[in-house]
Amino acid sequence: MRLFLKENTDLKETEVEIRYKILDEEVESLIAAVKDSRDKILGYKDNGDLAPLAVSKILYLEAVDRYVFAYTASEVYKVRLTLYELEDELRGKHFVRISKSSIVNINAVKRISPDSGRRLRLHLNNGETVIVSRGYVGDFKSAIGMKGDA
């Protein structure tokens, strides 16, 4: 694969053109990466400032006391969508529900280890860990391409 970059100051917005001989897995992965990079959700900082968050930068989302929080590698943002709405919006974008109150970006998972009660412990790229509830283990395994059930 070759990569060509060309600056054009006359453009109103960035354009990406992908030329391929065969639409194979590599090209589909490249298309998905470009699509993911433009996907954003709105988050709010503690001081009330609005911040557009790139979906690819979100490690996980968690519902706590009727609020939903988006966790990145270094910051936490409040999101004004429900976990159910986010689950629908993020479907097919490397996110999977892991408990009644959490959704994780599977690209942020560094390591997986077993936990008590047939649960899984996910070690994320930033050093945090989150737990996959036993009722969601099968969905998580399917999302990462593992066969079998809990």
Q: Which of 105, 95, 106, 60 is nearest to 79 (CA)?
A: 60
- Strand partners of residue 35: none
- All structural domains of the chain: 25-143 (2.40.50.1020)
pTM for this entry: 0.74
Residue count (the chain): 150
Span 83-91, average pLDDT: 90
Specify burial of residue 105 (Cβ count, 10 A radius: 0-12, 13-18, 19+): buried
Name the residue with tokens 């996980």: 60
Residues 32-77: tens digit of each pLDDT: 777 766 688 899 998 888 998 988 899 999 999 999 999 999 999 9
Residues 5-20: tens digit of each pLDDT: 889 999 887 788 899 9
Residues 99-125: tens digit of each pLDDT: 999 999 999 999 999 999 999 999 999
DSSP label at residue 126: T
Position 39 scores a pLDDT of 81
DSSP label at residue 48: S
